[in-house]
């Protein structure tokens, strides 16, 4: 049985990916700040929840060390993310620090810790970035910058590790029905053609992992047909 580590599994995209990996016969370590209440995850013997505040990188390092002691990891899914929106001058140091830590520092740290394992297993790093990585983001400058950094890291990491058989996949979703926008004055649109669902991101993950050995779908950008946001 292959082993995966997924961050941000308490809800949304991370939860959907963790559930899909269980179906695909993975053992899943699920890191999140709060416990998932999803019945499928809670009742699966192959799901191991780990409560962790990702902004506390010291505690995270200790947890990673314990996981590494239990065996090799085949798949690392850097999914956890946080976003604060509005004019950049209205952010505060705490919000900026949180976005930088969760959105880019933690993926770099986790990849650093598990990369030797992933080389041995010819495993996969899968980064959940954002469509904002590819465009200008007024009222979301800092968030977009962290996602651009994550996508850039993915691209360079693939070139660095491809000769060892490591696959690096970046998924860049557009507006998705999650609680990412809890700190914003907007959310996704109201009709199905204006947003993505977490399950559709999980579908994409499954497809990317299903390709034959020797083929890597390096970057995938998913968008709804129409662009629409709803003001709160």
Residue-wise over 161-172: b if at least 16 C-beta within 10 A, else e? Answer: beeeebbbbbbb
Q: Which of 122-131, 173-182, 205-214 has the lowest mean pLDDT?
A: 173-182
Q: Percent of the chain having pLDDT more than 70? A: 100
pLDDT digit string, tens, across residues 62-120: 999 999 889 999 999 999 999 999 999 999 999 999 999 999 999 999 999 999 999 99
Please tell me the predicted confidence (pLDDT) of residue 55.
Answer: 94
Domain assignment of residue 91, given as a range: 2-231
Q: Which residues are registered as beta bridge partners of 229?
A: 188
Q: How far is CA 3 from CA 22, 59, 60, 72, 130, in A?
A: 10, 22, 18, 7, 25
pLDDT of 186 over the 90 cut: no
Is the pLDDT at 232 greater than 80, yes or no? no
Total structural domains in the chain? Answer: 1
Query: CA-to-CA distance for 106 and 108, rounded, in angstroms?
Result: 5
Q: What's the pLDDT tens digit per position in 5-34?
A: 999 999 999 999 999 999 999 999 999 999
Interior CA angle at 118 toward 8 and 162, to 5°?
110
Instruction: Check whether 184 has a pLDDT greater than 80.
Output: no
Q: What is the pLDDT of residue 164?
A: 97
Spatial neighbors of 93 by CB under 8 A, at least 6 apart, are none
Cα dihedral across residues 114, 72, 65, 37: positive or negative: positive
Q: What is the CATH number for 90?
A: 3.40.50.720
The per-residue pLDDT for 219 is 97
Residue 94: the pLDDT is: 96
Residue environment code for 34-71, b if the CB has 16+ CB neighbours within 10 A, otherwise e: eebebeebeebeebbbbebebbeeeebeeebeebeeee
pTM exceeds 0.85:
yes
- Which pLDDT belongs to residue 64? 92
Quick one: pLDDT at residue 139?
86
Q: Indicate the average pLDDT of the chain.
A: 94
Q: Count Cβ atoms below 10 Å from residue 92 Cβ, excluding itself.
A: 9
Residue 182 has pLDDT above 80, yes or no: no
């Amino acid at each position: 049985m292959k082993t995966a580590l997924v961050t941000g599994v308490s809800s949304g995209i991370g939860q959907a990916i963790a559930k899909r990996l269980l179906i695909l016969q993975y053992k899943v370590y699920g890191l999140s700040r709060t416990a998932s209440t999803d019945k499928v995850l809670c009742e699966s013997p192959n799901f191991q929840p780990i409560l962790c505040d990702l902004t506390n990188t010291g505690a995270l390092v200790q947890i990673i060390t314990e996981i590494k002691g239990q065996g090799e990891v085949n798949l690392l899914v850097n999914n956890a993310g946080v976003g604060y929106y509005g004019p950049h001058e209205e952010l505060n140091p705490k919000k900026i620090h949180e976005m930088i830590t969760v959105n880019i520092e933690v993926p770099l740290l986790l990849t650093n810790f598990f990369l030797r394992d992933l080389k041995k297993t010819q495993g996969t790093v899968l980064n959940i970035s954002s469509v904002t990585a590819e465009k200008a983001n007024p009222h979301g400058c800092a968030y977009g910058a962290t996602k651009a950094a994550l996508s850039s890291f993915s691209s360079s990491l693939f070139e660095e590790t491809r000769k060892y058989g490591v696959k690096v996949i970046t998924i860049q979703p557009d507006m998705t029905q999650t609680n990412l926008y809890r700190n914003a004055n907007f959310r996704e649109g109201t009709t199905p053609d204006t947003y993505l669902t977490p399950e559709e991101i999980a579908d994409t993950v499954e497809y990317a992992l299903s390709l034959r050995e020797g083929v890597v779908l390096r970057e995938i950008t998913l968008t709804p047909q129409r662009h629409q946001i709803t003001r709160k």
